[in-house]
Structure 1
Amino acid sequence: MIKSSNIKFISFLQKNKSFLIFILLMSVFRSAVADWYTVPTGSMQPTIQEGDRIVVNKMAYDLRIPFTEVTLVSLDTPQRGEIIVFESKAADMRLIKRVIGLPGDVIAMSNEIIQVNGKRLSYKPSTKRFALQKNTTTSSIETVGDIKHYINIDNTASDNYSNFSPVTVPAGHYLVLGDNRRHSADSRFYGFVPHHELRGKATTIAFSVNYDNYYLPRSDRFIQDIYGI
């Protein structure tokens, strides 16, 4: 004899079959294809601000079995200047940073200036002012690979990590930094990022909310390419 509770459950499945299939497909899509993440800190300012919702291409580097960390096939590797999302075991949290060093690269930093394989990156001063930027913060345009982007230097913050001697990026790893250089816990703190921790490439700001203004949307940060300056 079939219990009435089982009959009700079967009836529920039949009536909501299309909706349940949609939920399943959406979950698979967000797990393996693309998703968006909330950015709670300012470590990537001015490129990414607190309150931004970032679209992440999860198939940019690897194709994984949905709902797992099992890689079916590697599709590509990050390039210098790209912004990646990764599950950091060292930091015990999900992080978003910019790739500076690829496997085999020799990276050094002297007074905020980065050298890649003995060549100094290009820097140009910027007079542009950004939302949330302190009066004590200066901005520059840094060129990494083919990507130009802004970086912030807070001149009142500690510069203890503004310098490091040449280091070689190990095979299968990446050296990453935040754009808000003196307010970012990155490879200078947690070391190199192994490829298996990557979860995707950040591509777009879907939208942004202002935490200091009742979480209202920021009209100037809707569907914005994070690689354009």
Structure 2
Amino acid sequence: MNKLNAIWQENKLFLLFIGLMVMFRSAVADWNHVPTGSMQPTIKIGDQILVDKLAYDIRLPLTHVSLHKLNDPERGDVIIFDSKVSDKRLVKRVIGVPGDRVAMKNNRLFVNGNALKYTAVSEQGGFKVLNEVLGETTHKIRIRNANTRASNFAEVTVPSGHYLVLGDNRDNSADSRAIGFIPRNEIVGKSETVAFSLDYDNYYLPRSQRVISPLDET
């Protein structure tokens, strides 16, 4: 017991710092590594994105227990959630909120019977990049020139307490088309900013233009 007390006395400032950092990253803000391209072109492989964990809830640290709800996710938000179905943390875009009717035809979305607006940005190597207008949010999506099985789904209604999410890389994303609607209590936070980014195709060198920058900044 005396030995433990001596260790505490000698290291208490460091241990308190570590404890506070763990609490901060668990309940206030954190960063997440993005190892896949399911959110391209918005989020690049190698991005470290900042996660605002107070965007929607004040949570009990180290848990998903909400102590107080601050806001609900909105269409267009990029959310981070711990998916029980896929058993991993995922990053996707909210397309449908509770009560919404959502359908996809040839990679074009319809929300509550209204077709979203699309404009062409670029085309290369069998892929197109389009601007997609979702409510007050305009963001880029990436689709194949030729439609795939993932390019269509019949109209569904988002149930209470759940959200329909899609990756911006529409033909290469395990999202609500594969794992179903996302329960509200699985959502960890919201992201709008890249902290920094490493270019995996260029010896992991930092991308200088993606340091504390908006997600959709190229």
TM-score by length of structure 2 reads 0.95
Greater mean deviation of Cα atoms: 145-154 or 207-216: 207-216
Deviation of 1:20 (Å): 1.5
Q: 2:132 aligns with which of 137, 142, 151?
A: 142
Q: Which runs of 5+ in 1 are unaligned?
A: none
The Cα offsets for residues 140-171 of structure 1, whole Å up to 9 and x where unpaired, read as: 00011211110001236x61011111110000
SS of residue in 2 equivalent to 1:68: coil
Q: 1:107 aligns with which of 102, 110, 134?
A: 102
Tell me if 1:17 matches 2:17: no
Residue identity in the other structure for 1:78:
P
In terms of Rg, which structure is larger? 1
In 2, the alpha carbon distance for the partners of 1:219 and 1:66 equals: 33
Q: Give aligned pairs, total.
A: 218
Tell me if 1:207 matches 2:179: no
**CA RMSD of superposed structures (Å):** 1.6
Mapped contact 1:148–1:227 kept (Cα < 8 A): no
SS of residue in 1 equivalent to 2:26: helix
In 1, the alpha carbon distance for the partners of 2:184 and 2:109 equals: 22
Residue of structure 1 in register with 2:84 after alignment:
89
Residue identity in the other structure for 2:187:
L
TM-score by length of structure 1 reads 0.90
In 1, the alpha carbon distance for the partners of 2:201 and 2:68 equals: 43
* Mapping for residues 101-180 of structure 1, pairs under 5 Å: 101-127=96-122, 135-155=125-145, 159-180=148-169
In 1, the alpha carbon distance for the partners of 2:93 and 2:163 equals: 10
The Cα offsets for residues 52-111 of structure 1, whole Å up to 9 and x where unpaired, read as: 001001111111111122211111100100000001111111110000001000001100
Mapped contact 1:205–1:224 kept (Cα < 8 A): yes
In 2, the alpha carbon distance for the partners of 1:109 and 1:67 equals: 37
Residue identity in the other structure for 1:46:
P
Change (3 A) 1:123 1:109: same
Deviation of 1:225 (Å): 1.2
SS of residue in 1 equivalent to 2:149: coil
Residue of structure 1 in register with 2:29 after alignment:
34
Deviation of 1:183 (Å): 0.4
Tell me if 1:192 matches 2:184: no
Mapped contact 1:147–1:227 kept (Cα < 8 A): no
In 1, the alpha carbon distance for the partners of 2:103 and 2:178 equals: 15
In 1, the alpha carbon distance for the partners of 2:135 and 2:194 equals: 22
Deviation of 1:228 (Å): 5.8
In 1, the alpha carbon distance for the partners of 2:196 and 2:129 equals: 23
Mapped contact 1:42–1:50 kept (Cα < 8 A): yes
